Structure 1
């Protein structure tokens, strides 16, 4: 079922619900400039066997409003959009699963609205905390000395995005996914081509937004509130992650009180077919335990 939610003045968000209406709600929050249909269908279906799964398009993506040029906003506003989606759909509390920027937004919700969450799962993201990382040997590493984004990703992100038509844009996005997916699993070109065709069809155009990269990023740290967390939290560690490589997941789990870590072998900063079953299994085990 699809529905539009008015999240703020001039902002309407596209949402989709799947699964039994009386099942425990689970909100999926995608990454920067990514639409809700970026969550793979097999993963959504697997989660919907146990949950009322909700996914949505951020502002300036997909079928939601594209307001940034006239009404610039903060990244923090994107986190409040998640709460607006729950409010608009009449959901009091939900499990939340966030990936990449979506994992940061989930942390902000975790910190600012813990009463709205049943559990949190954080994928491919870094801690919104200034707490140093403690190595297994007891030594510490300042946050700004943790491993950075892989050079090949930075090089790709530095390239100007030029409009050479839909076909060329799909190929550009496939190359993007190839780099983000890491080097531990075979890359399925046709899978990601089909994904991007779905995204373009869903959105209605092939333009690439840049609003989330330009939005105000200040005020995102939640060090103290994450350290006081009481919401069951799972951190997914992706062994081939090129954006937030280990030990970012371990650091995140140290910053969020009570968090645990599960590793998905071969996973990078993408959701190819090979990781969907183990990822769904990990998420469902976590949400099931949180409900006990």
Structure 2
């Protein structure tokens, strides 16, 4: 019965000719919609079950696989697309599921795509929550000592990303992915290798294979700046500050809060660029408090 119920919540949505995306819905159909937008190369199953279930107590939660991830169409090599097309996919998903407006929660690249919707389609967004991302703005960061340069990606992350990915079998691929999460998680919370190994095993089973995709990294990322639009944003926006973030380290969250009008900042202690069990409680509370307050505006 559980498997049957799960299948009833799954649906494919066509977002372009020959391109369809896998979606999953959870929670009461008449609850306010909340769409989870994952990062680059990441399946929707990267959103932990515990987080999805907790959010579904108050929301109709949707997660989905980007193009070239999970069960969605893998077609970049034959039909290249731009990163901005991935933002348009969000609109297509909402349209395909019959959802007029939704709360958006974006992580990493998903946070950038969410900013594009804030700028280009604010009428479709009830609220936005951004984490592990950078501002799509040319406005400089102003710190306690004035204008200062934002830090780049941590060297250990860049070194890991530079390594060639070779196929040595499923268990070796799981080892590689766990090592990746170890670095992305930062150094504030003890790392649970077994948790992330099981997470990645489920993602691989969901996708039906473990070959990694590089499509999003090769996609044209031009035309993403939205400096003026973000400066006049009116959608309630929450920026989650992660003190152990190695990809977009502090003060990137503070910069986001400066350039997106009407946004506010909440720190989740110990959080990095990953979603281990230790951060899920505080993160859920922050998201639900934000979506609840946005509903009262």
1:107 paired residue among 92, 115, 120: 115
Q: Give CA deviations for 1:47-100 in whole Å, capped at 9, x if unaligned.
A: 000000000000000000001000000000000001100000000000000000
The whole-number CA distance in structure 2 between the counterparts of 1:19 and 1:113 is 25
Q: Which runs of 5+ in 2 are unaligned?
A: 1-8
**2:242 equivalent to 1:238:** yes
1:196 paired residue among 193, 196, 200: 200
Q: How does 1:216-227 map to 2 (within 5 A)?
A: 216-227=220-231
Structure 1 runs of 4+ aligned residues shifted over 2 Å read none
Q: How does 1:146-165 map to 2 (within 5 A)?
A: 146-165=150-169
Q: Structure 1 length as normaliser, TM-score? A: 0.98
Structure 2 partner of 1:60: 68
Q: Structure 2 length as normaliser, TM-score? A: 0.96
| Cα offset, 1:136, TM superposition | 2.7
**2:31 equivalent to 1:23:** yes
RMSD, matched Cα: 0.5
**2:86 equivalent to 1:78:** yes
| Cα offset, 1:161, TM superposition | 0.7
Q: Secondary structure at the match of 2:158?
A: helix
2:185 paired residue among 162, 181, 186: 181
2:267 paired residue among 247, 259, 263: 263
| Cα offset, 1:165, TM superposition | 1.1
| Cα offset, 1:44, TM superposition | 0.2
Q: Give CA deviations for 1:183-239 in whole Å, capped at 9, x if unaligned.
A: 000000000000000000000000100000000000010000000100000000001
| Cα offset, 1:10, TM superposition | 1.6
**2:129 equivalent to 1:125:** no
The whole-number CA distance in structure 2 between the counterparts of 1:260 and 1:43 is 22
Q: Which runs of 5+ in 1 are unaligned?
A: none
Count of paired positions = 288
